[in-house]
Amino acid sequence: MDGSLPVGLVANTAAVLAMSLGRLHPELIGADLPDQDGQIHPGITTIVLPVLKSQPEQMANIARRARELPSSEVLVIDFTSLAQQAKTYGDYQSALSATQATALRYVGLCLFGQAAHIKSLTGSLPLLR
């Protein structure tokens, strides 16, 4: 996560990335659970999702390195400034299709896969506080 973002944009970026991960891997969401009074609470993630601090250039490098691995080993979900600034998904689609990959400015990155690969890509990053 871009550590220089205001807290509201950090929260939005984390939410967007988590929704995308949940769509691609619905098995990561636990079953709905009742409380003692019988009220049902929708399932939440069953895995730990640490939010780490990075800079856009560093995230671009991590994304590049992660994409060099087999996609079956690491899933890369990115959130760029183009997506952040788009008013609609159509606006985002148009802007993204007109932008070279090397020109993208990453504001958030979600990596999911084998722990050893994730650790090798992110091990030096601190927690976002």
Judge whether 55 and 3 are in contact, CB under 8 Å: yes
In a domain, 129, yes or no: no
In a domain, 61, yes or no: yes
Domain count, the chain: 1
**pTM, two decimal places:** 0.90
CATH number at residue 81: 3.40.1490.10
Exposure string for 70-105, b = 16+ CB within 10 A, e = fewer: eeeebebbbbbebbbebeeeeebeeeeeeeeeeebe
The mean pLDDT values, 10 residues at a time, for the chain of 129 residues are: 95 97 96 98 95 96 94 94 97 98 97 94 94
Cα 87 from Cα 80, distance rounded (Å): 14
In a domain, 2, yes or no: no
Judge whether 17 and 1 are in contact, CB under 8 Å: no
In a domain, 127, yes or no: no
